[in-house]
Amino acid sequence: MKKSYFSLTILVLVLLFLYIPIILVVAYGFIPNGISMQFTGADGSFLGFTTKWYEQIFSGAPSVRKLLSSFWLSVEIAALATLASCVLGTTSALALHKWKNRFQKIHYALVYTPLIMPDILIGISLLMLFVACNVACGFWTIFIAHVTFCISYVTMTVLARLADFDNAVTEAAYDLGAGPLYTFFKVELPILMPGIMAGGLLAFTLSIDDVVITSFVNGAGTNTFPTYVSSMVKHSKNLPAVFALSTLMLLGTCALAALIRVLTNLRMKKLS
């Protein structure tokens, strides 16, 4: 087959467009001067690299304490929102898969709508709801907002897994005397687990980096990592600390994705 150099060139350009910004974020985590944001001095000489920004993060220095506080708040909210979304999203997917009627069409439309709705519209709508209910914005309003849009992604991911699900497996379990709960936890759930884990990872990623919706429903003292960074990105001299922490988040995300992949492969081998 003749190689298409045009297609190869387009592929390389797209990859460069996607990954050069990430490489720059990693590189700027080692920048010596947090004010000039340059690796060279006034005379053009190379200043070298430094690890002081990582040292500040690991030592919990006062200059990055608020940044770390916002980061752990984001992790806490994302973990809770992911757990709730996996439970509710899996339940929703099972209902859509097992029962086919006109009410399920409405159910599907309600689940699908947040996927195509602009974030700013979701944020404004939730803010109006909380104001109408006289609920003070803070930790729990952010949690509810994140669960609202994360459920849809988990549901769609689990539904894709259910599309290849063989109902004869559950029928065989019933024929052998297993009850509904035993069948679900011992037969259905292990088969669906790869889809649930994939949806959970997607939900965690979307939750931890959400800016638009969170900016509408957060309150005083509840700035998440993305909203805090967006407020300091133009004027803070500690911006390289953000790059350093972002690099650690990148490594953590890659490690989490690799762990989930390994666990999924082990589970699939066990089932086969």
Give the model's pLDDT for residue 112: 87
What pTM was computed for the model? 0.82
Residue labelled with tokens 């439309």: 109
d(CA 106, CA 30): 52
pLDDT score at 3: 62
| pLDDT the model gives residue 53 | 86
List the chain pLDDT tens, one digit each, 272 residues: 556 788 888 999 999 999 998 898 888 888 887 666 777 776 777 777 888 888 888 888 887 888 889 899 999 999 999 999 999 999 998 888 888 777 888 888 888 888 888 889 999 999 999 999 998 888 999 999 999 999 999 999 998 888 877 777 777 887 777 777 878 888 888 888 888 888 998 899 899 989 899 999 988 778 888 888 887 776 666 778 888 888 988 888 888 878 877 877 776 676 66
Measured at the CA of 59, the angle between CA 56 and CA 62, to 5 degrees, comes to: 65
The structure tokens listed for 84 are 């709730």
Q: Is 46 helix (H, G, I), strand (E, B) or coil?
A: strand
Q: What is the C-alpha to C-alpha distance for residues 195 and 77, in angstroms, rounded to an integer? A: 22
**DSSP category for residue 48:** -
Predicted pLDDT at 253? 82
Q: Which DSSP string corresponds to 240-257?
A: HHHHHHHHHHHHHHHHHH
Q: Find the Cα–Cα–Cα–Cα dihedral 158, 116, 222, 66, rounded to 10°.
A: 90
pLDDT at 79 (0 to 100): 94
Predicted confidence at residue 34, as pLDDT, reads 67
Domain ranges of the chain: 70-232
Please, what is the Cα angle at 97 between 165 and 155, to 5 degrees?
A: 95
Look at residue 118 and give its three-state secondary structure. Answer: coil
Sign of CA dihedral 177, 179, 180, 182: negative
Output the pLDDT for position 249: 87
Answer CATH for 70-232 from 1.10.10.10, 1.10.3720.10, 3.40.800.10, 3.40.50.300: 1.10.3720.10
Q: Which two tokens stand for residue 239?
A: 């911006």
Beta carbons of 19 and 250 less than 8 angstroms apart = no
